Structure 1
Amino acid sequence: MSNRDSIKPWYQVHKWTSLICTLFALLLCLTGLPLIFAHEIDHALGYQVEPPALPETGQRANLDDIIADAKTRKPGHAVQFLVGDPDEPDLWSVRLGFTADAPEPSAFYSYDARTGEFLHEYPLRQGFMNVLLRLHVDLFAGLPGMLFLGFMGLLLVISLISGTVLYGYYMRKIRFGSIRRSRSAQVKWLDLHNLLGIVTLVWLLVVSLTGVINTLSVPIFDRWQSTELAEMTAPYRGQPPLAGIVSAQRALDAAGNAAPGMTLGFMAFPGNDFASPHHFVAFMQGATPLTSKLLKPVLIDAQTGKVIAQRDLPGYVSALLVSQPLHFGDYGGLPLKILWAVLDILSIMVLISGLYLWLKKHKVPFETRPGVPMNEKPEATLPISAPKQVDGK
C-alpha cells in the first residue's frame, strides 16, 4: 500500500468528524472566551462583591447567625449548602432552595465570614453571562444537551488526532510554519489553518478532554451518591426523620477538627442529595492550587454533631474536580486566564479557516500540495485533497 493509500482513511476521518463538530466547537469557543473571565466580569457587573478590607484579627462570625439571617430573607425555604471560596477566605455564601433537595437554588446570599454582615444576593438565571453559561454547558437542554456536547467534544478530539497525522504527511517537503503567500488565497488559508492547528493542538486537546469529562458531571455525582455516600450512610437507613438537628456551626467545627489543615469547600445540609436526612456532609479542601480543587467529604451526625466517617473521593470524581477549573484556566490566576483566552482566539481562527476551506469546495491544485514532488504526475496518485477540504462528492 502506498503512502497515499494509507493516508486516505485518516483524511476521511478528519473530514467527517470536523464537519460534524466544527459548528458546535466554534459555539463552545465563542461562549467559553468570556466565561474564562467570568469571575472578573461578575465583579465588574456587580454580581459579586468582595468583603471589605478589615484588620486581620482571626475573628469568625457565628455560622448559625448567618444561617438564621438567610432564612429570614427567604421564609419557608430550606438551606441547601454553605459555600466557601478558596480565593476569598473571608467570604461565605448560603444557597437556599424551595426544599433541601430541590435541584435549582431559590437564592444565593454572600456574607462576610468575619463579621457575619450580609453582602450581596447573586442574581440567579439572569443576565448575558447566564445565557453564555447555559449555551456552553448544555444548550439549554439539561442533561441531554450536556451529553450531546460531550459527544461533539469526542469528535473534536478525533478530528485533532487525525488532523495531526495529515499535517505530518502533507508537511514532509515544506518548512514548518511556512505560509505560501505567493499561492492562491485558498492555499494561504490552508497553510494558516495547518499552522494554527498545530500551535493550538495541545491546548485544544486539553480543553476538549476536560470538557468531555465535565459533561459527565451529573452521572459521575449520581454514581458517587448511589455508591460511596450510600455506603457511608447505610447504618442510618430506615430511621425516622430527626425532630431537630445540631447547629451548623457545631457541624462545621467538627469537620474542621476531623480534617486539620483543610478549609471548607462547601457543606451540604441534611435532606440534600449530597448529604442524607440524618447528616451534614462537609467537603473539605486543601490549601495548594491543586488540593484546593479536590474535596474530602466528612460525614457528621446531624443529631449529635459527631463525625461519623470521612474518606477520599474516588478517582473518577477527583478527575472531574480537577478538570473543571483546568477547562477554564482557573489555576494560575489572571496570567493563565489570559493565555487561555489567546489560545481560545487562535482556536476560533482554526475553526473558521476550516469552515472557509470547506465552503470553497475546491481542491488545492495538485502541484501546490505540500510533500508532492514537482515531477510527480497527477495520474499516478490518489486525488486526496488537503485537510479540512471537501470536494462535495
Structure 2
Amino acid sequence: MNSRKIKTWAWVHKWSSLVCTLFMLLLCITGLPLIFTHEIRHLLGTEVEAPKMAPGTPHISLDRVLEIAKARHPDRVVQFASQADDDDNLWFVTLTHTPEPTDDFKSVAVDARTGVVLAQPKFDEGFMYVMYKLHVDLFAGLPGKLFLGFMGLLLLLAIVSGVVLYSPFMRKLDFGTVRRDKRPRLKWLDLHNLLGVVTLVWLFVVGSTGMINTWADLLIKYWQHDQLSALLAPYKGEPTVPVAERGSVQRSMEAAMQRAPDTKLSFIAFPGTSFSSPHHTTFFLRGNEPFTSKLYQPVLVDAKTAEVTAAPKLPWYLTALLVSQPLHFGDYGGMPMQIIWALLDIATIIVLGSGLYLWLKRGNPVPASPKAAAHEKPAPDASSQPEPAPAMKAQA
C-alpha cells in the first residue's frame, strides 16, 4: 500500500475514532451490567418470581388476570401483557393512561394460577434502569437512539480502517508482539493492537447489531405502514374498539395459539397500541428452540369477535432486528456466553481507553535516557507510521 493510501485510511481511522470513542466507552461500561440483567436483579431482590406449586396447577382466565391488574390502577388502560421467557406462571401487565407509547406506565405482576398480585415492579427507576437508558438512548428517546446508531457506524469505520492499517504497521514485528522494554507509550500501542485483533470480530458483531437495534422504532413503524395497512383495509374509517365492546381475551389467545401451534406466547398488544391496530388484539408468539425463541409470529385477532384475522410473516428487516437484539447482549448460550461477552467487553474497554491514552500522549513522548538511547535500535513504529486515534489505532 502506498503512502497516500495509508494517509487516507489513517485520516478516516483517526477522525472516526476520535468522534465515537467516548460514546463507545460509555456503551461498553453500561453494557457490562446489562449482560447480567437477570442475575443482578436477582441479587438486588428486584426480580419477580412465581412461587413454586405442584406441576399442572391450573391457570385462571386471562380476562380475570387483567381485571385484577386493572383494579390496582382503575384510571389506566391495559397496554401490554407478557409472560416471562421461562415461566408461564407469571403475568406482567402494563397499564398507561392512553394506549399510545409513553414513559408513564405502571406494571403489575400477577400469579397466573392464583391471581395474587406478587409485585408492582418499577422498571423505570434504579441502577439497571439508568444503565439501560444510557445504553439505549441517552435518556433522549428516538433522537438519542439515532445518534448512538451514528456512533456505531463510525465505530465500524474505525474497525475497517484499523484492519487496513494493521498490516503495514506490523510489517516489522511478529504477530502479538508487546515491546515491554520500550517506553510506556509503545507498550500501550502494542497492547492496543493486540487486544484489537482479539476483539475484532466480536466488536464488529456487537457494533453492527447495536446499530441495527437503534433503528427498531423506525423499522416497526415502516412495517405497520407497509404491511399492516393492507391488512386493516376492511376496518378503514372505524374507530378504536372501546374496552366495553371487546370480546374475551382468553378466547382470543386460544384462537391465536391454534393458528400457530408449537409456539409460546411472548406478549400481547392491545388495540390502539404501537404494536397493534385500533381494531385488533395482537398476540406475538415465539418458537420453542433456542433460535426460534427469538423470532416472533404476530397473530391479529379481531378485538370484538375474538376471531383470527391474519397471521403475517415478519419481513426480513424485522427478523434481522429480532436476531440482532439477543446477539448484542450474548443472550443465546446462557451463562457461558454471557461470561465470554463480558470478558470481550472488558477487553474492548481497554482497547478504547488505551487508544484515548495514545492520542493524548501523541505530542508528549517520554524521552529515553541517554544510556538507553545509545543502545536502542530504531523502533519499527517510527514516525512514518500514522498517529494512533482513541478508538482503535490499528484495530484488527
Q: Same fold (TM over 0.5)?
A: yes
Q: How far, CA to CA, are the matches of 2:33 and 2:313 in structure 1?
A: 33
2:313 alignment counterpart = 312
2:86 alignment counterpart = 87
Q: How far, CA to CA, are the matches of 1:389 and 1:305 in structure 2?
A: 57
Confirm or deny: 8 A CA contact 1:220 1:317 kept in the other structure: yes
What's the TM-score, normalizing by structure 2? 0.91
2:385 alignment counterpart = 384
2:288 alignment counterpart = 287
Confirm or deny: 8 A CA contact 1:369 1:386 kept in the other structure: no
Confirm or deny: 8 A CA contact 1:61 1:115 kept in the other structure: yes
Moved more, 214-223 or 42-51: 42-51
Measured after TM superposition, the shift of residue 98 of structure 1 is 0.6
Moved more, 14-23 or 225-234: 225-234
Q: How far, CA to CA, are the matches of 2:357 and 2:329 in structure 1?
A: 27
Measured after TM superposition, the shift of residue 240 of structure 1 is 4.6
Q: What secondary structure sits across from 1:298 in the alignment?
A: strand
Q: How far, CA to CA, are the matches of 1:52 and 1:313 in structure 2?
A: 35
1:35 alignment counterpart = 34
| Aligned AA (1:291) | T
2:370 alignment counterpart = none
Q: What secondary structure sits across from 1:311 in the alignment?
A: coil
Q: 1:172 to 1:88 in 2, by over 3 A?
A: farther
What's the TM-score, normalizing by structure 1? 0.92
Q: How far, CA to CA, are the matches of 1:282 and 1:157 in structure 2?
A: 36
Q: How far, CA to CA, are the matches of 1:147 and 1:30 in structure 2?
A: 19
1:296 alignment counterpart = 297
Measured after TM superposition, the shift of residue 334 of structure 1 is 1.4
1:153 alignment counterpart = 152
Measured after TM superposition, the shift of residue 116 of structure 1 is 2.9
| Aligned AA (1:68) | E
Moved more, 255-264 or 273-282: 273-282
1:171 alignment counterpart = 170
1:12 alignment counterpart = 11
Q: 1:100 to 1:10 in 2, by over 3 A?
A: same
Deviations 1:64-118 (A, max 9, x none): 1110001100012100111122222322211111112242352111222333332
The reply to whether residue 3 of structure 1 matches residue 14 of structure 2 is no
Q: How far, CA to CA, are the matches of 1:217 and 1:36 in structure 2?
A: 20
Q: 1:214 to 1:290 in 2, by over 3 A?
A: same
Q: How far, CA to CA, are the matches of 1:79 and 1:303 in structure 2?
A: 16
Matches within 5 A, 1:336-355: 336-355=337-356
| Aligned AA (1:69) | I
Aligned length: 379
2:121 alignment counterpart = 122
Q: How far, CA to CA, are the matches of 1:143 and 1:49 in structure 2?
A: 29
Q: How far, CA to CA, are the matches of 1:52 and 1:21 in structure 2?
A: 46
Confirm or deny: 8 A CA contact 1:298 1:310 kept in the other structure: yes
Q: Percent identity?
A: 51
Q: 1:79 to 1:152 in 2, by over 3 A?
A: same
Matches within 5 A, 1:1-393: 3-57=2-56, 59-242=58-241, 244-362=245-363, 367-369=378-380, 383-388=384-389
Measured after TM superposition, the shift of residue 124 of structure 1 is 3.4
Confirm or deny: 8 A CA contact 2:252 2:307 kept in the other structure: yes
Q: What secondary structure sits across from 1:352 in the alignment?
A: helix
Moved more, 9-18 or 119-128: 119-128
Q: How far, CA to CA, are the matches of 1:288 and 1:115 in structure 2?
A: 29
Question: Runs in 1 of length 4+ with deviation above 4 angstroms?
Answer: 363-366
Moved more, 59-68 or 241-250: 241-250
Measured after TM superposition, the shift of residue 35 of structure 1 is 1.1
Q: What secondary structure sits across from 2:310 in the alignment?
A: strand
* Bigger RCO of structures 1 and 2 (CA < 8 A, at least 6 apart): 2
Q: How far, CA to CA, are the matches of 2:90 and 2:157 in structure 1?
A: 42
Q: How far, CA to CA, are the matches of 2:96 and 2:137 in structure 1?
A: 22
Measured after TM superposition, the shift of residue 386 of structure 1 is 4.5
Q: How far, CA to CA, are the matches of 1:160 and 1:72 in structure 2?
A: 53
Q: How far, CA to CA, are the matches of 1:30 and 1:3 in structure 2?
A: 38
Confirm or deny: 8 A CA contact 1:241 1:277 kept in the other structure: yes
Q: Which residues of structure 2 form unaligned runs of 5+?
A: 368-376, 392-396
Q: How far, CA to CA, are the matches of 2:198 and 2:101 in structure 1?
A: 45
Q: How far, CA to CA, are the matches of 1:190 and 1:307 in structure 2?
A: 61
